[in-house]
Structure 1
Amino acid sequence: MTIIYFGESKQSSTSFHRASALRRLGHEVTVFNPYEAVAKQLAHPILGKIHFRTGYRFLRNAVNTWLGSKLADVRQADLVWVNGGELFGPQGLQLIRSAGKPVVLYNNDDPTGGRDGRRFDSLLKAVRYYDLCAVMRDVNVKEYKDLGAPKVKRVIMSYDDVLHQPFGDTNEIPEKFRSDVAFVGTWMRHEKRDEFLLELINAGISVSIWGNRWQKSPHWSKLQPFYKGAALAGRDYVAAIQGAKISLGMLSKGNRDLYTRRSVEIPFSGGLLCAERTTEHQKMYREDVEAVFWDNAAECIQQCRSLLADDQRRNLIRDAGRSRVLALGAGNEAVCNTILKAV
């Protein structure tokens, strides 16, 4: 199948990973990055924030002109895949559809949840023009349909089958990525991740933190000794997960998360998932057999202490978790294939 893929093309992006998965499935994929068409506007220190907060509607004309220049390629394709879709409004989708090809939307955020204000205004006005919308949460299905989406498919967030492969020899993991308890993620205002981690640290749990924006935390002075560096990608990300005895999985309440990509990336990458207890996590993994869960920081502290004192138990849960995530079909290749079959 020949696919025109509209999405981020940076090699560190999950968009790039999905395009690569489609190629591994045997499809001919041409990637066009819409963010490059308006890169100057988005990079502006003031205007970039305005565009984010106004749903990119002031960029629609520029984006539509750019889309028009790709129509000849779209007409030669079998299918159009839009990854993200926040820059594309109704006119842009009508332009794409004029080529007469099926159009798929994949968005792993929560556009109907409201956490990001009006960021997804353009996308939400355009969902009715997609032949299929792939969403990550059960709650999104009805919300998309209420907006006029003709067909909505709920899929699981995914790891990458190649990028997130664990190290075959753990001796290859650099010492700087070895830790007792690791959290790889971003500091987010109102999510209280910093307060949670500080409770673990105050209880004597040795926590290693990687991610962006942690300097903005009001608790930065106390967290700084445990901060190991900025966001990780590629093999460094896998090394930090596999090199940790325990990897924490935190959710975004603003995104109405009951699981995240970390929920599948951690077990697949050879890590032990220690995450917030939710109905979704409990459906995915057998508790205390394939993953470990907690309801609050106090319970997480207890779980960490117990696991750190028992190497054999940690290894059993880690191995069982990886077997389970493989059985879930949560890799990019399986998820992409599921979406294509549903079109």
Structure 2
Amino acid sequence: MSALGHTVLYLGPKSGTCLDRANALRRIGCLVEHIDLRELLPSTVWVDRWTWRVGGHWFEPLLQRALPAQLQQRRFDLCHVDGGEWVTPAVIRLLRRFAGRVINYNIDDPTGPRDGARFAAYRKAVPHYDLVAVVREENRPELEALGARRVRRVYRSADEVSHAPRTLTTVEHLTWRSEVLFLGSWFPERGPFLRELIGWGVPLTIRGPNWHKAPEWAELKAHWAGGSIGGDDYARAIQCARVNLGLLSLQNRDQHTTRSLEIPSLGGLLCAQRTAEHQALYAEGEEALYWGDAEECAAACQQALNDENRRARIARAGHDRFLRNDHRNEVVMRSLMHEAEACA
């Protein structure tokens, strides 16, 4: 499928990596109509809480009424569903009135244990998509067991624009400078790990939401520099950190995360948990630093901070390897367009 001129109905949040992927489709020549399904549902927080606890299929009647009103008589070559926690089989049947093919891309773990009932509707809808794309090898057999017609496993990707290195001023360097940065949300296993790093003397900065929930908050609070950041500030924080930590979500069966691509894309030094996928992405000690526990992580950070030439050399090599690997949004979106064309 040549992307140029193809019309795509894109369903997903108008923020974060989802917005990046929609914009990547635009950059490769697609005409994109982007609708956030959450905006078609009541604004109350109880919609999200109900989705996580019981399932998004409860909101099917609302979407069946709202989508035709939004789309009217328009016709699209492809419908790309990003995530899909509210998209049921009936909603997919509705979408086929407007699009020739309906595919799904999900960077979460929709068949895993972490997210409760959030993806209950997704799991029921899997057999009705022409193509489902996921970022974990474990998802492939699980989706096939659910009746998926065609499953594509991809690595996550960084964005050619959002995660391109910025030219920074001296003031920006001073504002965003940190020695060792963890940029991400609180999860229960992360608090003890970061507390242990602090105990080993790592000069740590934490940015991200919900850290006040950590039982270790009393020890972490002095290292917390604020909540969620995005856009240019996200890029500045990574570029101005001498070392960037890559932590995984154990319940989410991660072997790499979006940070694994975004940090090297921005020219930052990645210091991440040692996994088979991380080792496939970057050579250990040459293009990234890896560790197996907090003590080894602390030692890797200290060695990098004590040898600026080595630190900068590994960061540059990691950036160059990222470019060669080509795990970028435009590449992934183009490949999914081609695979969707091959679907019978």
Q: Same fold (TM over 0.5)?
A: yes
Equivalent residues of 2:131, 2:152 under 8 A apart? yes
Deviation string, structure 1 residues 147-178 (Cα, Å, up to 9, x no partner): 11101111111111101111234636342311
Q: Whole-Å Cα distance in 2 between the matches of residues 261 and 171 of structure 1?
A: 28
Residue 150 of structure 2 corresponds to which residue in structure 1?
Answer: 151
Q: Which amino acid is the alignment partner of residue 256 of structure 1?
A: R
Deviation string, structure 1 residues 100-138 (Cα, Å, up to 9, x no partner): 611110110000012111110001100111111111011
Residue 60 of structure 1 corresponds to which residue in structure 2?
Answer: 60
- Give the C-alpha shift of residue 99 in structure 1: 3.9
Matches within 5 A, 1:128-277: 128-169=127-168, 171=170, 173-189=172-188, 192-277=189-274
Equivalent residues of 2:76, 2:99 under 8 A apart? no
| Two-structure CA RMSD over aligned residues (Å) | 1.4
Equivalent residues of 2:77, 2:99 under 8 A apart? no
Number of residues of Structure 1 aligned to a counterpart in Structure 2: 335
Q: Which amino acid is the alignment partner of residue 186 of structure 2?
A: W
Matches within 5 A, 1:15-94: 15-41=18-44, 43-44=45-46, 48-73=48-73, 75-94=74-93
Q: Whole-Å Cα distance in 2 between the matches of residues 21 and 98 of structure 1?
A: 25
Equivalent residues of 2:9, 2:99 under 8 A apart? no
Deviation string, structure 1 residues 15-72 (Cα, Å, up to 9, x no partner): 111111100101110111110011324x23xx54123211112211111212233454
Equivalent residues of 1:290, 1:324 under 8 A apart? yes
TM, length-normalised to structure 2: 0.94
Cα 1:100–1:322 change in 2 (3 A) is closer
Structure 1 unmatched runs, 5+: none
Q: Whole-Å Cα distance in 2 between the matches of residues 106 and 58 of structure 1?
A: 22
Secondary structure at 2:161's aligned position in 1?
coil
Secondary structure at 1:39's aligned position in 2?
coil
- Give the C-alpha shift of residue 143 in structure 1: 1.1
Residue 291 of structure 1 corresponds to which residue in structure 2?
Answer: 288
Q: Whole-Å Cα distance in 2 between the matches of residues 305 and 39 of structure 1?
A: 49
Cα 1:120–1:218 change in 2 (3 A) is same
- Give the C-alpha shift of residue 139 in structure 1: 1.1
Q: Which amino acid is the alignment partner of residue 5 of structure 1?
A: Y
Q: Whole-Å Cα distance in 2 between the matches of residues 95 and 160 of structure 1?
A: 31
Equivalent residues of 1:164, 1:268 under 8 A apart? yes
Q: Whole-Å Cα distance in 2 between the matches of residues 104 and 170 of structure 1?
A: 42
Matches within 5 A, 1:319-330: 319-330=316-327
Structure 2 unmatched runs, 5+: 1-5
Q: Which amino acid is the alignment partner of residue 14 of structure 1?
A: T
Deviation string, structure 1 residues 171-221 (Cα, Å, up to 9, x no partner): 3634231111000000013xx211111111111110000000000111111
Q: Whole-Å Cα distance in 1 between the matches of residues 98 and 267 of structure 2?
A: 44
Q: Whole-Å Cα distance in 1 between the matches of residues 129 and 119 of structure 2?
A: 15
Q: Whole-Å Cα distance in 2 between the matches of residues 188 and 201 of structure 1?
A: 17
- Give the C-alpha shift of residue 98 in structure 1: 3.6
- Give the C-alpha shift of residue 90 in structure 1: 1.1
Secondary structure at 1:157's aligned position in 2?
coil
Equivalent residues of 1:71, 1:96 under 8 A apart? no
The answer to whether residue 278 in structure 2 is matched with residue 281 in structure 1 is yes
Q: Whole-Å Cα distance in 2 between the matches of residues 291 and 204 of structure 1?
A: 21
Equivalent residues of 1:184, 1:210 under 8 A apart? yes
Secondary structure at 1:61's aligned position in 2?
helix
Q: Which amino acid is the alignment partner of residue 60 of structure 2?
A: R
Q: Which amino acid is the alignment partner of residue 195 of structure 2?
A: L
Q: Whole-Å Cα distance in 1 between the matches of residues 79 and 72 of structure 2?
A: 13
Moved >6 Å (runs of 4+): none
Q: Whole-Å Cα distance in 2 between the matches of residues 92 and 234 of structure 1?
A: 32
Residue 3 of structure 2 corresponds to which residue in structure 1?
Answer: none
Secondary structure at 1:106's aligned position in 2?
strand
TM, length-normalised to structure 1: 0.94
Q: Which amino acid is the alignment partner of residue 270 of structure 1?
A: G
Q: Which amino acid is the alignment partner of residue 19 of structure 2?
A: F
Q: Percent identity?
A: 41
- Give the C-alpha shift of residue 339 in structure 1: 0.9
Residue 8 of structure 2 corresponds to which residue in structure 1?
Answer: 3
